[in-house]
Structure 1
Amino acid sequence: MRPDPRELLRRMFDAAIAAAQPAGCVPPHLPAAPTGRLVVIGAGKASAAMARAVETHWAGSLSGLVITRYGYTVPCEHIEIVEAAHPVPDAAGLAATTRMLELVRGLGPDDLVLCLISGGGSALLTAPLAGLTLADKQAVNRALLTSGATISEMNCIRRHLSEVKGGRLAAACHPARVVTLLLSDVPGDDPINIASGPTVPDPTTCEDALAIVRRYGIALPTAVREALESGRGESLKPGDARFADQETHIVTAPQRALEAAAQVARDAGLAVHILGDSLEGEARDVGKVMAGIARQIVRQGQPFARPCVLLSGGETTVTVRGTGRGGRNVEFLLALALALDGTSGVHALAGDTDGVDGQEDIAGAILTPDTLARAWAQGLRPAEHLDDNDAHTFFEALGDAVVTGPTLTNVNDFRALIIL
């Protein structure tokens, strides 16, 4: 009996999220107890759940402070959890980051700082470079989010405008030893791009950041441009002695989530093909490409025979030109739907594993072969919704939005196509 596509898509998505839960992936990477103090710090959408996993499996005493997104708190006994805004930083994040810096200053070589970092940390861990303000950082973040820049390009700019990113948080902990546990949400799993690399050296420069600004025509506040042009925002580089006694471990990543979803599909009797865990590009362009692959499978049985499942992860981008409610995953899906034009047998789900696509608490949506037909029957105009970056409104009207609530993890985008 063939599985219900909608139900199977959701089970695959849920399996991907479950595979990336900190309770399972953090404990195997905990360090040995120090002779001095253990101080736990961190930031990200999964950081509170990571802190809880540390407390559950740590035998000795500990204290600390982590910053997570509003609604993503997990109760801890010894580690303080502070909520702040994402994706645009706010005063709560600034105050908590200031307190975190005070917490780690003055530690000695016998002390250990355990740093828990996950996606979302760039906005949550905010301390503007001297001479810049929170308003400057907010303006830059808003401009980056609508620019079409990749996550690595955005984070390159962020690293050069901060007192904590680009290795500066690790420098503040010196001479204490620092062990960083990373839950990757970025294509390629490069530590410098996970929350903009607060505890790792950064090989990029202020000039690299300026080149990205010019490439996308990003408007910067005057003080921000001065910080980059003067080189005052230069980050800490490889070879800096303060990184000598440090460890960095990626505890889970998008590939693990895709493999968990793949097993669900195989158990349902379908062949699975993982196309990659780091697909990037404009969301609507990726949608068109995936539609082309799906149509070739339906019509020609190439490059894969039906029935099958195509899985991919990574982080697409959206150049915002409209005024609608959207996110990169639903934008991908709406472009996919238009390009498929009702091709029979193709079902899809795209969602962010943190439960938030764009700036709303909607993870993503589901597409079916009759998505366009149902939309037209309701008087919706799919192409106009895409032009207005308004895919959330579109899929909500069809009853096809996927809402998970806070998932307490983040391994980036998840895309699944079932082709029957």
Structure 2
Amino acid sequence: MLDGRTNDARGRADGAPSVWRAPGMPALLGSTALGFAGVALLMPVAPLRVLDGGADELGAGTVNAVMMLCTVIAQLLVGKTLQRLGWRRTLMLGACLLGAPAPVHLLTDDVWAVTALAAVRGLGFGIITVCGAMGVAVLVEPARRGRAVGAYGLAIAAPQFLLVPVAPWLAERAGYGPVFVLAAVPLLAVPLAPPVARALRAFDRPAEGPAGSAGRRDTAALRRALTGPIAALLAITSAGGAVLTFTPGLDPDPTTVYLALLVFTGTSALCRWAFGGFADRRGAAPAIAPLLLLGAAGLAAIGVGAADGPGTTGRALLIGGMLVVGVAYGGLQNLTLVHAFAVAGEEERPAVGTAWNVGFDAGTGLGALAAGAVAASFSYPVAYAVLALVTALVGVAWAIPRRRTGAREPGMIRTTGSSAGGTPGPGE
């Protein structure tokens, strides 16, 4: 099966340099980290801003839900955007849409205005996420893809680890101004777009079939193959969306909120990296069900802690639950992407990158919106109980032995003829 790259590029698997130093990877990881830094600063703070402005929990959840909705819309359009603009301009556009609206938050705390800004940021975020996932699959050969996805995951999770806990604390201590100014940091990724584009243009060579035409995709088989990993991803990212949006409302003490978010983001960052080697050695599928069930247990602990209130026991359950959910959240982000690439095959890299990112961000937005609606109608403990139940049910579905299309060996999806195999519009 052809992956659309030159033989010397494929040969880097033997005695190859670290995935961190593969051509194009430093710039790609740097632009990813800068983009997610902007998101990490505003994910907990934008909802907090509208709560302070008089909105309820549903309004606060809507901010991040709309951002994720626009992220998904942008992700579905990235292929056409790449064909029209090329990698360089597309990456620049994503960085500008994500970073430029951040300082405008200084002007308003109105829920509709903040939601409109979130919509623009979501369009930029959608571009950054799909380009990142597609780029990693091109720049590093399949034999080391787990480690490459781990490096990419760490570039995503490290800003969350450093900034998600700090952002609400900084907003409480120094005001919203510094947070909104710092959240423009994705603009610094603009100069990194040209080296990423050059590397992708060098390695992402379309493969030609016998008659020089692209093969026909088996879309039904592709859809069946991706159902399992995307369902697992939706479950855990829904939990993550609720955690990132509403943790500042679970305890009145900013230090407790800081520690809880620090534990969650730190654990998820470590696990996104650590599970990469596991996936390369043993495959991704075996660990998915256990991590889903672990995540459900952690969500239940958070809910019980929220019900117990801001005492010693409640805070211990909150932080312990954050630790457990962080393991599942980080590990599953790596494993579901690696598994999706494996079952779909190399020809479907662009489709997998888009589907995975849509699942990630749809889950994040759905979790924020659903948890906000349940919390507004009932309470935070009920919201976390619902999230725990859904995550557990998906975990049980994975654990039940059955013949599942998505669990078959890599290379399952075939095309008639040869696939074009490359990402759309590889030109600069």
- Point out the structure with the larger helix share: 2
Which has the larger Rg? 1
TM interval, short-chain normalised: under 0.3
TM-score, normalised with respect to structure 1: 0.28
Higher relative contact order (Cα pairs below 8 Å, separated by 6+ residues):
2
- Point out the structure with the larger strand share: 1
